[in-house]
Amino acid sequence: MSVSTIERFVLRVRKLIRMREMVNVLVTRSSQVRSLNRRFRGSDKATDVLSFPALHVQNSLPKPVAGDVVISADIARDNAKRLGHSIENEVKILVLHGMLHLAGFDHERDGGEMARKEGRLRRQLKLESALIERTKASSDSSMRKSAAQSRRATKRRTA
């Protein structure tokens, strides 16, 4: 995926979410993402996307910056393969997710507001399922499997 493709996509998303500030995007190896995640979030594992809002001490910068989005190329590649779409689209999905965090959305605390916004934008941008939708579906599937395994184990113990 070229730098210009990412730049055009970021500009498109900025317009859609009415974000005036610039966004920096870094696509790197999982080891680098893991290091950043450990250092800034206290989680010693790689993840697909991290967002770092800019500090508001930017008076000397020529253009205000909303923050940085960091994407694991390794995880993006694996997700794209597993989900059957292009790496380019996967990176775009992750950039969108990260930019929504920079815009102030937080899917862990907002009662689904970010998920709805991400879903609408994904459809506008003609992207596959949004990151939150995938995570929720995966979590729901895992919970259903776990519940089914518990029921089977209970039946075996009571039989």
Q: In this structure, which topology does domain 3-130 adopt according to CATH?
A: Collagenase (Catalytic Domain) (3.40.390)
How far apart (Å, rounded) are the C-alpha atoms in residues 22 and 69?
Answer: 11
CA atoms of 158 and 86, how far apart (whole Å): 48
pLDDT at 61 (0 to 100): 63
Tens-binned pLDDT, residue by residue, of the chain (159 aa):
899 999 999 999 999 999 999 999 999 999 999 999 999 999 999 999 999 999 866 556 677 899 999 999 999 999 999 988 999 999 999 999 999 999 999 988 888 999 999 999 999 999 976 566 556 555 555 544 555 554 444 444 444
CA distances from 26 to 47, 79, 157 (A): 14, 18, 52
User: How high is the pLDDT of residue 153?
Assistant: 47
CA distance 79 to 87: 8
At residue 135, the pLDDT reads 61
Please, where are the H alpha helices in 17-51?
30-41
pLDDT of residue 136: 58
What's residue 140's pLDDT? 52
Count of CA atoms in the C-beta half-sphere (13 A) of 69? 25
Q: What pLDDT score was predicted for residue 158?
A: 41
pLDDT for the residue numbered 63 = 77
Closest CA to 84 of 128, 47, 115, 124: 128
71 backbone dihedrals φ, ψ, rounded to 5°: -125, 135
